[in-house]
Structure 1
Amino acid sequence: MHTRRTFLTRTLTGACVLSAAPALLGRSAQAGAGPERIQALIDGAAARARSAQGAKLGLVLGIIGPDAPEGRLLFAGGAGLTSATGAPLPLDAQTSFEIGSISKVFTSALAYQRHGPYAGTLGAALGGAVPLSPAVAALELENLAIYQPGLPQDNRGGVYPPGAMATLDNLFAYVNGLPGPIPQGTCYAYSNLGWALLAMASVGLSGTDTKAFVARYAQALQAFCGTLGARDTHVFAPRLRPQLPMGYTHQWQPLPGNASYAPTTPPTVGAGGIVSTGADMLSYLAYNMGRRPGGLTDAALAYQQTPSFHARNCKGGNAPSTAYGWFRKALPTGDGAVTVLNKDGGVRGFTAWMGFTAWQGTGQPSSHGVFVLANGPPAVRLGNAALGLLWKA
């Protein structure tokens, strides 16, 4: 188990080297400022969770930047961390966390692998494997990927009848019953159902066998992650439960001992059902930042990250700008705002965040990137704060 002041440096070729913080102290204050301040940030968050909430919050934070061009993992809250089954659990590069809706950008990558640029409809992609109403068959894959699906916003719950998302049969019975035409491409709505449908289009279906679809998605995910050396990234399965830290809700309540820890229903795994590790997420961050071999000319990355889409919010109010899967935001700096591509994730007991500076069209890889994995609520706040500190270093 690593101490709170230990850093794990992981090269992008996969080798790992442990180095203690005192070795960094001999470097210039400027060179070490980012990692040191970020370590203090997550140390403080883990300590506050214990003192104020009684929560054993474990944090894994990865950075890539001028001070850590090959990537670095930072850890906090490892002392006394327990698993979902109550057993002691080490906090290290291989500790598993649920990444929630960051799964969507994995699904976007799988969709590009299968189809190339988003074109055509859900009906064409599924090729008659399941019966679809005309309105559902006409859903355009691009609209699903840019958060303009014309489907209900469902990230706050309370949208679907009980059991509607439990099986593929139930899901298609529900969606085929929606009145048409579906107003796709007209406004922003965060729809997990839309991403579940895109995941089905990404790997294909052979009827409404739910287990067969999950296995198909898991196989495609494993193949994609294998190209990145990320071999501990999987679709959630009950066998992974003992490898997860005990999760805490947004109210800092521990998940009950009999909780299944399943982050999604089986048909919606492509919207939020992935489990990963710090080591794997560092590889995935480096890939998206164009820092792996061939990254600067990777057509998939250019296609998914370059566009900027914006539409009114279907429910009124402000709506974010997106790429394919990713969201766009401005990071204020002393030199003006910098565009950041980012995605957060939140499922019961876990949150995650990944963000990096936009780089497409510059001829250079992304300069700064961060991800956070947490078995509790603070990943989004910590990720944004860490990226700001990394930029200022």
Structure 2
Amino acid sequence: MTFSTAAVSSSSHFPSIAEIKRILVERIDVQRQSVGIVVGTFGPEGRVIVSHGNFGAYYARPVDADTAFEIGSITKVFTTLVLAEMAGRGEIGLDDPVAMHLPATVHMPTRAGREITLTDLATHTSGLPRLPENMAPADDDNPYADYSVEQMYAFLSAYELPRDIGSQYEYSNLGMGLLGHVLARRAGTSYGALVRERILAPLNMRSTADTPAVYMKSRLANGHDDQLMPVLNWDLPTLAGAGALLSTADDMMNFVEMLVDARTSPLREALATTLSIRRPADAGDDETGLGWVISGSGDDQIIWHNGGTGGYRSYLGFMPAKGVGVVALSNTSTEAGVDDIGRHLLDSRNPLAEPPRERVAITLDPAIYDRYVGIYRLAPEFEIAITREGAGLFAQATGQGRLEIFAENETRFFLKVVNAQITFDVGADGRATGLTLHQNGTDQKAPRAEA
């Protein structure tokens, strides 16, 4: 456990260091939902960093404030902050068509006479899918590593938008990766160098980078899957703006301090820009700023983003009205993750996640599986294909590998490699009419997409 030398007020917004430590011990040692977690909090009482656990399942070095983690999709708020910073300098326009900043040989999709703008990318309302359909990784454990700029250009040039631009929120790693690519092209540098110059250097974030750089490798925690087994780090050479950054709790607290109190920061105006542009998101009353998810209103408003890669989970959130912020980093990609810890620390009314129960597979007549085989559409460009092979049933989501699913009863199945479940909705004849995907605390319905 590490913490700052800042004085801690007895009226702290946050639980005590001992209580935060108890939460981490419970999550790691009892629930076995991570190998190592580091949490940072910041508010009027100062900065506090609490840690528990180790670098790896086979590496008993304690994690601490200087341990590096992949932060996954939290990268997106750095990408959109660069966009706002460049717009503030007049180098780029928020409403510039994306095509303006790409080679003339790339034909960006249009619809109803409207072009996709940089703001459309930054708010996930471009109409582009979550992932490009021509993404076929050679290694599912490092899925973005071999996706090239040329492949991205080819996909964009051939893609037809399924709906009007700006009409609907659809979270898109492709869109945010494209945004990072466009900004780097406009600046004449790499994505990593651009983020370092415009964001990291002004905030003195010296341990944040877009690759496991040599100086960081000795401080990089091993990533783990939900079985607590070591996995590879991810490489995102083309779609870096969607999730390439690695960072430490200490560095991320520099970022949190800027978010909570940007009055003297050179990024104050850029941050305000990312929060002032609002479009509806896809969950309840949530809105999206440029990159940010904005939940609630008034004193209870939380502005946040999370992240997940093959071996890590992360959460970043702050409450502007209360002047407090949190970051939580885990070196394990489990369903429990650290989102609930971050939300709970920001507002104690948000409960901690219940520990996952052990699921037991039962044996069914494989002929039952034939009723479920088909394509199920979760979003316009995101489907789950259910297939049968012998006595096994398999699910394959768009752009992902095929995974076996196991029966808990005749209609409810679960995956072993990730904490997700599928329930089939069946008609009078027993044939599936749709399914519900239970994952990350949400239930997503997907009707059957074929006759």
TM-score normalised over the length of structure 1? 0.74
C-alpha distance in structure 2 between counterparts of 1:271 and 1:358, whole Å: 25
1:338 aligns with 2:309: no
Specify which of 358, 362, 367 is matched with residue 323 of structure 2: 367
1:65 aligns with 2:36: no
237-246 or 112-121: bigger deviation: 237-246
Q: In the alignment, which residue of structure 2 is the partner of 1:13?
A: none
1:8 aligns with 2:27: no
Q: Is the 8 A contact 2:181 2:239 kept in 1?
A: no
Secondary structure of the corresponding residue to residue 234 of structure 1: coil
Supply the AA of the counterpart residue of 1:94: D
340-349 or 371-380: bigger deviation: 371-380
Specify which of 216, 229, 246 is matched with residue 204 of structure 2: 229
Q: Note closer, same or farther for the CA distance 1:299–1:161 as it changes in structure 2 (3 Å cut).
A: closer
Flag the structure with higher strand content.
2
Q: Note closer, same or farther for the CA distance 1:275–1:113 as it changes in structure 2 (3 Å cut).
A: same
Q: In the alignment, which residue of structure 1 is the partner of 2:385?
A: none
- Give the C-alpha shift of residue 289 in structure 1: 1.4
Specify which of 77, 82, 85 is matched with residue 53 of structure 2: 77
Q: Is the 8 A contact 2:287 2:295 kept in 1?
A: yes
- Give the C-alpha shift of residue 115 in structure 1: 2.5
Secondary structure of the corresponding residue to residue 56 of structure 2: coil
Q: Which has the higher contact order (CA 8 A, sep 6+)?
A: 1
Q: In the alignment, which residue of structure 2 is the partner of 1:210?
A: none
195-204 or 319-328: bigger deviation: 319-328
Q: Is the 8 A contact 1:111 1:201 kept in 2?
A: no
**Aligned-residue CA RMSD in angstroms?**
3.3
Secondary structure of the corresponding residue to residue 316 of structure 2: strand
1:255 aligns with 2:226: no
Q: Note closer, same or farther for the CA distance 1:330–1:319 as it changes in structure 2 (3 Å cut).
A: closer
Specify which of 192, 195, 200 is matched with residue 181 of structure 2: 200
- The 5 Å alignment of 1:1-393 reads 4=1, 7-9=2-4, 17=5, 28=10, 33-49=15-31, 52=32, 57-66=35-44, 68=45, 70-78=46-54, 81-82=55-56, 87-116=59-88, 118-124=94-100, 126=101, 128-129=102-103, 131-135=105-109, 138-154=115-131, 159-163=133-137, 166-179=147-160, 183-204=164-185, 216-223=190-197, 224-237=199-212, 239=214, 240-241=216-217, 243-249=219-225, 251-256=226-231, 259=232, 261-262=233-234, 264-291=235-262, 293-294=264-265, 298-310=268-280, 313=282, 320-330=286-296, 338-359=300-321, 367-376=323-332, 377=334, 378-389=337-348
Q: Note closer, same or farther for the CA distance 1:187–1:77 as it changes in structure 2 (3 Å cut).
A: same
Q: Which has the larger radius of gyration?
A: 2
Supply the AA of the counterpart residue of 1:357: M
4+ residue runs over 3 A deviation? 27-36, 86-90, 158-161, 237-243, 317-320, 389-392
C-alpha distance in structure 2 between counterparts of 1:134 and 1:320, whole Å: 29
- Give the C-alpha shift of residue 181 in structure 1: 8.0
Query: How many residues are matched?
Result: 332
Unpaired stretches in structure 2, ≥5 consecutive residues? 138-143, 352-451
- Give the C-alpha shift of residue 39 in structure 1: 2.6
C-alpha distance in structure 2 between counterparts of 1:302 and 1:278, whole Å: 23
Q: Is the 8 A contact 1:38 1:389 kept in 2?
A: no
- Give the C-alpha shift of residue 322 in structure 1: 1.0
TM-score normalised over the length of structure 2? 0.66
C-alpha distance in structure 1 between counterparts of 2:85 and 2:50, whole Å: 32
Superposed CA deviations along residues 6-54 of structure 1, whole A, max 9, x for unmatched, are: x411xxxxxxx499xxxx7xx75878844442232222212224xx46x
Unpaired stretches in structure 1, ≥5 consecutive residues? 10-16, 207-212, 360-365
Q: Is the 8 A contact 2:98 2:108 kept in 1?
A: no
Q: In the alignment, which residue of structure 2 is the partner of 1:362?
A: none
C-alpha distance in structure 2 between counterparts of 1:354 and 1:30, whole Å: 19
Superposed CA deviations along residues 215-259 of structure 1, whole A, max 9, x for unmatched, are: 61111111120110111100024745553222222x334134xx3
C-alpha distance in structure 2 between counterparts of 1:75 and 1:153, whole Å: 33
Q: Is the 8 A contact 1:246 1:375 kept in 2?
A: yes
C-alpha distance in structure 2 between counterparts of 1:28 and 1:179, whole Å: 58
Secondary structure of the corresponding residue to residue 72 of structure 1: strand
* Percent identity over paired residues: 23
